[in-house]
Structure 1
Amino acid sequence: MKILLVEDDAPLARALKESLVNQQHSVTWVASGELALNSFREHSFELVILDLGLPDMDGMQVLKVIKTINAKIPVLILTARDGTEHKVEGLDLGADDYLSKPFDMPELLARLRVIERRFGTAVSAVITIANVSIDTAASSIEVDGQSVALSRREWMIIKLLMESAGRVLSKDTIEARLYDWGEEIASNTIEVHISNLRKKLPTDFIQTLRGVGYVVKKPA
């Protein structure tokens, strides 16, 4: 997923970003409400992780604006605030989950997987199409029951295509989901990753619609 992380605690944010990237997510980190809203208006994200205790504005206000811009975007709230009333307020404003600090990273990652399944096309952590299976919880892939080694970007692409099975994804869409804002991308980067993936997958598993994009067919 392409995630907007809004957290002003730099050590925590760096640790969060590292863990999320290790789970094959693309993460843009900002440390204030204003930067969060600017990033959200200018770029496309699939999920927001939002701290409530921001230096320039209350996180609840950021949540309100985000949901005004895109009511469907899933938001996971992180906060050190005690009290049920804060949790209720956040959920009433449209947050999809709430995690109190301090928290364990495995729990955060598990909650993100639940949100990802809820809002995506996948209904389980394991997706099987033909003789290819991916486990999104373990970040692993098997072909004919045999484990296949992929680079981080290759994994992100095949996960995206299999979760979106039956939908054609353009090169621009794939780039937007894989790379952070401001990250330089060579013009043929996606084509190179797709070419490398095809060498490791069954023939025609990833299909090209010339001038449109790439697709993995839905399972019968």
Structure 2
Amino acid sequence: VPDQDRPADVEVLQGRDVAEEAGAEAIRARGEAAEATVLDVADLGAVTAFFAELPAFDVLVNNAGTNRPKPMQDVDEADYDAVLDLNVKSAFFVAQACARGMIAAGAGGSLIHIGSQMGHVGGPNRSLYCASKWALEGMSKAFALDLAAHRIRSNTIAPTFIETPMTRPFFENQAFKDSVLAKIKLGRLGQVEDLMGAAVFLASDAAALVTGTSLIVDGGWTAD
């Protein structure tokens, strides 16, 4: 049963193994309400229960994902299942559970799925990742059509390579880093801050007529 005492505007931060308490604390320090939770989005039963126990969301940022980069001839079934199950299956059912709550509440909403530039082009050693991110693009477009009557929008943000603690070790390989920077026409790796404007836009009324599309934040990678 939803907690009716919860403030109307609460940001819910979800981590797979550890609650995103630092992020929630930073939001609370600004005088806003935030909660940190633990949810493994690969556990579909837990996903259903998670959304059933909370008031309807206004905005979902659907961000879980993984990659196993290798040539397509070296991919095995375990690789396929790991990437497609998280990047596509989990993303689908997280969005479904969230959208059901939005529909029941009748207030509309915005689904924002974190895709990739690799959902618009191909790349070496990226067959699984490309497959999953192209699938996410198609899913989001279909979601937009299914949910438009409920005033729920569905869009993707498609970033280039973003420098994070998880990706930083890959860029220690100078040849790999040089190959990436050669494709990013603005000449630098992406930072998390580069995605903030896109997310705020798609979450806000400024994007009230934007649905079924992708906001590509790639420094010009896919323009070539």
TM-score range (shorter-chain normalised) is under 0.3
Whichever structure has more helix as a proportion of its residues is 2
With structure 1 as the length reference, what TM-score do the two structures score?
0.26
